[in-house]
Structure 1
Amino acid sequence: MATIKDVAKAAGVSVATVSRVINQSPKASQASIAAVTAAMSALGYRPNANARALVSQSTNTVGVVVGDVSDPFFGVMLKAIDHVVRQQGKQLLIGNGYHDAQTEREAIELLINSRCDSLIIHSKGLSNDELIRYAEEVPGLVVINRYIPEIATRCIALDNYKGAYLATEHLIKHGHQHIGYICSNHDIEDTEQRKAGYLAALAEHGLPHNDSYIEYGTPDEQGGESAMIALLSKQLPITAIATYNDYMAAGSLSVLEDNHIQVPETLSLIGFDDGLIAKYLHPKLTTIRYPIHIMAEQAAMLSLKLAQKDAGEATVRMFVPTLVKRHSVGRATGE
C-alpha cells in the first residue's frame, strides 16, 4: 500500500507539499496539485480520513442516530437528511439506537469519536439530561422527533398529542361514539402523547373512556393484528378504531378482512404517519400526516448551521400534523 512518502517521491515534491494538496491548502500551487493528484492516482493512494481531520478539524461527515434503519419511516428521514448534506459535499454516518438507552449511547459516542461535524439524533431511550449534556458537548447536535425544553431551539418535534386528537375527533364527527384505540406497547413519549390525545378528544366531546376499548401491541403489522384480535374477542360495540400508526392499521385491516368485517361500512379505521403504505392499502387509509421529510430537512439544515457557529434565529420548531382523508372512515350506523 502506497504511503504519503511514495506519493511525494513520485510527484517530485516534499511530503509537506503533498499534505498541503490533500488538505486543499491555498498555499499549494497548481503545478503541485497536478503532480500530486497524478501521483496519487497512479499509486492508488487514498488519504487517511482521520489524519486529514486532525489538520482540517473536519471529516465532512454528518452523524445520524435512528431507531431502526430497516423501518420505512426512518428510510424517509435518512433520505431527506442525505439530500441536504450531499448538497454541502458531506456524507452520512448512521447508527441504530433501537429505542434502547445503552445502544443509543454507544451509537452517539461512536459518531462523536468519528469526528462528525454534525449530529442528528432520534433518541427515545436516553434521558433529557443526558441528551442535554451531549448537546453541550457537540455544537452541531440536533434532536429530532422529541422536544426538550432546555434545548428547545435545537429540537425538531411533532405535536403527537394534536395528531391523535385530530384522528379521534374525525371519527367523532362521523357520528362514532364507541371508539377503540390500538396503541403501541413501547414505553416512549410518542406512545403516551398519542394515547393522551385520543383520550382528550373523547373527554372533550362528552364520550366516556373505557379501558377495555384500548389494546396494545408492537408498533408494526404483527402488533396491529394481535391488538385487533384482542379487541374483536371482547365483542364490544365499537364502530371505529384509531391506531398508533399506519402499520398497526395495516395489521388491523388484515384481521378485519379475515373476519369478513367491512371497512368502512361496518367499522371505520384511521392510522397515523401517512407512510408509503397508507395509500396502497384496501381501502386506502385515512390517516394523520407526519411531515417527517420536511422535519428531517429542517434538522439537517439546522445541524449544519450550528456546526458552523451559525445558529441564526433561535426558534422552536414544533410541527403540527394534518388529517389526510381517504376511504377507511365512514359514517356511524346504529349509534
Structure 2
Amino acid sequence: MATIKDVAAAAGVSVATVSRVVNNGPKVSAKNRKLVKQVMLDLGYRPNANARALVTQSNRTLGLVFSELTDPFFATLAGGVEKIARSNNIQLLISNGLVSAETEQRAIETLLEQRCEAIVVHSKALSDQTLLDYAEAVPGLVLINRYIPAIAHRCVWLDNQAGGEAAARHLLSLGHRNIACITSNYDIEDPRLRLNGIQSALQQQGLPFDEQAIASAEPNEIGGEQAAQNLLARGLNFTALIVYNDAMASGVITVLCDNGYRVPEDVSVVGFDDVLLSRYLRPKLTTMRYPIEMMAMEAAEMALKLANQEPVASLHKYLPTLVKRDSVAPPKA
C-alpha cells in the first residue's frame, strides 16, 4: 500500500506539499496540486482519515443523536440524514440517546470526541440550557423535533399542538362527540402539546375534555395494547380514539378487534406519524403525517452549512397534515 512518502517521491515534491494537497491547504501551485492528485490516483493512495483529522481538527463526518433504533419513526429520521451524508460523500456516525438526559449527553460527547463538527440532535431529555451550551460550543449543531427560541434558526420542529387540534377537528366534523385519547407516558413536550391541541378543538365546540378518557403507556405497539385495555376496563362510552403514534395505534386496533369492536364502524382510530406501517394495517390507518424524513434532510443540510459557516434560513417549522384512510367513519346513529 502506497504511503505519503511514496507519493512525494513519485511526484518530486516534499511530504509537506502532499499533506497540503490532501488537506486542501494553501500555498500549493495549481500545477503541483494537479500533479500530486494524479500520482495519488496512479498509486492508489488513500489518506488516513484519523491522521487527516488530527491535522485539520475535524473530519468528513456527520453526526446524529436520536432516541430509538428499532422505532420506524426514528429509522425514517436516520434515513433522511443518511441521504444527505451520502450525497455529500461523508460518513454518518450515529449515537443513541434513549430519551435519557445522561445518555443523550454522553451521545453528543461521543460524537464530539470523533471531531464531528456537523451534528443533528434529537433530544427530549436534556434541558434547554444544556442544549444552548452545546450550540454555543458547536456551530454546526442543529436540533430536530425541538424548538428553543434563542436558537430558533438552528431548530427544525413540528407544531404538535396544531396536529392534535387537526386530528380532533376531523373527528368532530364527522359527528364524533365522545373522543378518547391514548398518549405516551414519556415526560416530554410532544404528548402534552398534542393533548393541548385536542383539548382546544373540543373546547371550541363547547365539549368537555375528560381526563378519564386519557390512557398513557410506552409509545410502542405493546403500550398501545395496554392503554386500550385500560380504557376499555373503565367502561367509558367513546366512538373515536386519537392515538399518540402509529405504532401504538396498531396495538389499539388489535385490542379493539379482539374485544368485538369493529374499526371504524364502532370506534374510529386516528394515529400520528404516517410511518410505513400505517398503510398496511387493516383497516388502513387514518393518521397525521409527520414529515420526518424531509425535516431530517433539512436538519442535516443545515448542520453541514453551519459547520462551514454558510448562512441558513431563519424558520424551519413544519405542520402535520391529515392522511385519510379507512380507520375513521362517522359514528353510528
Q: How does 1:1-335 map to 2 (within 5 A)?
A: 4-5=4-5, 14-25=14-25, 26-27=28-29, 28-41=32-45, 47-313=47-313, 315-334=314-333
Instruction: Give the superposition deviation at 1:266.
Output: 0.8
Deviations 1:157-181 (A, max 9, x none): 0000110111112111111111110
Instruction: Give the superposition deviation at 1:302.
Output: 1.5
Output the CA distance in 2 between the equivalents of 1:145 and 1:221: 22
Q: Percent identity?
A: 49
Instruction: Give the superposition deviation at 1:17.
Output: 4.2
Deviations 1:202-226 (A, max 9, x none): 2221111222211111101000000
TM-score, normalising length from structure 1? 0.91
Going from structure 1 to structure 2, the CA distance change for 1:39 and 1:64 (only over 3 Å counts) comes to: same
Output the CA distance in 1 between the equivalents of 2:312 and 2:190: 29
Q: Is the 8 A contact 2:153 2:312 kept in 1?
A: no
Output the CA distance in 1 between the equivalents of 2:312 and 2:151: 15
Q: Is the 8 A contact 1:245 1:273 kept in 2?
A: yes
Q: Is the 8 A contact 1:171 1:240 kept in 2?
A: yes
Output the CA distance in 2 between the equivalents of 1:22 and 1:307: 20
Output the CA distance in 1 between the equivalents of 2:133 and 2:121: 13
TM-score, normalising length from structure 2? 0.92
Output the CA distance in 2 between the equivalents of 1:29 and 1:187: 55
Instruction: Give the superposition deviation at 1:310.
Output: 1.5
Deviations 1:77-97 (A, max 9, x none): 122122223222222111110
Q: Is the 8 A contact 1:62 1:85 kept in 2?
A: yes
- Which residue type is aligned with residue 209 of structure 1? F
Instruction: Give the superposition deviation at 1:316.
Output: 2.1
> Which sections of structure 1, spanning at least 5 residues, go unmatched?
none
Instruction: Give the superposition deviation at 1:260.
Output: 2.0
Q: Is the 8 A contact 1:10 1:39 kept in 2?
A: no
Output the CA distance in 2 between the equivalents of 1:88 and 1:7: 26
Over the aligned positions, Cα root-mean-square deviation in angstroms equals: 2.1
Aligned residue for 1:93, secondary structure, equals strand
Aligned residue for 1:271, secondary structure, equals strand
